[in-house]
Chain A
Amino acid sequence: MSNNNLIKGSLQTIILKLLEENEKMYGYEITQRVKELTSGEIKITEGALYPALHKLEAEGLLTTEIQQVDNRVRKYYSLTKDGQKEVTSKLSELQGFVENLQRILNPEIKPGFNI
């Protein structure tokens, strides 16, 4: 599944979930982690990643930290308290959507089916 349109809708959830598992991450690290976890099947484009990160930051779900790394400055993102709460709700929202999608694609699956 490498369709950008499919990823776009769940990008915020992916970012929030990754940051829940890792205390703090920087932009490039997020793209690489997604690539690694999906064996290169999902590639987050820079064009979508940074606007999504900035939006989440402006909404108060992410906070940033600027650190000196080698001879450059790096911006790390981490979850705020509101962001931590949002992960659970976004995940259950996405899970519900995937379940419903499964029912549409495969009507033989009964309600209550868990992925």
Chain B
Amino acid sequence: MRKLSEQELDQIKKAISAKELTSAEILLEIYDHYVSHLEGFESSKFEEELFELEQKFSFRYCHALQSKFIKASKKEIFNLQWSIFKTYFTWPRFLATALILVFYFLFWMDVSNKTKVQLLIIPIVAIVILSAWIYYQSFKKVSKIKQMIASPKGIQSSLLASIMMQLSLITSSFNLMILLPKVFDVPNYMESSYFIAGTLLLFFIYVSYSLTLFEAWKLKTKSSLI
């Protein structure tokens, strides 16, 4: 076991950088694998061993690994949020949530239809602030990896990418709800009972989403790059 020289480390970084990976998790894992492996050989064998590693971690293999990892990250975040959602409703929490919903519903019935739609903005703002905070925390953690390995493409956490994709779906659903009737010039769409029921449903989805995202982030932040 020996320490690799700066020149050798640079050579490894160049080799990994050439793979044009974007997932910080995959990059750090491959870099650690290369260094751990090469530390076990004399400097005379460095080139030969690096060549062998390059055969195993080919461009194609690395991208397939990255693509599978991104898919797995999406699944992981979704599963985590879903399990949080399911386990959240213990009896005291269920009663407290039901009580809050009753008060909200009473208040909601009293306001104009336009205000009902505007109320959707509250959880949207909460989700955007939370996502910005997660983005900032992840940016700080990933910058260490960026300093280590440069990639011609941007590097970011795959878990963060999944969260950001969900965020875009949330904001798109909001836009769809508000803008689509305007685009098609639907008269008095805000008076439609379907529209009103839709806004109530979206409010519930947005609140659930932001709460579960926060809990999922609290769990994952200790152990990952978000």
* Tally of contacts, chain A with chain B, CB under 8 A: 67
| Docked complex: A54-74 residues within 8 A CB-CB of B | 54-55, 57-60, 63-66, 69-74
Cβ-closest chain A residue relative to B36: A28
Q: Which residues of A contact B100 (CB under 8 A)?
A: none
A73 touches B148 (CB 8 A): yes
With contacts A51-B68, A64-B223 known, is A58 near B79, CB below 8 A?
Answer: yes
Which residues of the partner chain A approach B32 to less than 8 Å between Cβ atoms? 26-28, 69, 72-75
Chain A residues lying within 8 Å of B108, measured Cβ to Cβ, are none
The A contact surface, by secondary structure, is mixed
Stretch at the interface among B70-78, B126-134, B192-200: B70-78
How far, in whole Å, are A47 and B28 apart by their CA atoms in the complex?
Answer: 16
Chain A residues engaging chain B, CB cutoff 8 angstroms? 26-29, 45-47, 50-51, 54-55, 57-60, 63-66, 69-75
Which 7 A-B pairs rank lowest in CB-CB distance, beginning with the nearest? A58-B72, A28-B36, A58-B76, A73-B28, A54-B72, A28-B33, A58-B75
Task: List residues of chain B with CB under 8 Å of any chain A CB.
Answer: 3, 9, 25, 28-29, 31-33, 35-37, 56-57, 61, 65, 68-69, 72-73, 75-76, 79-80, 83, 141, 144-145, 148, 222-225
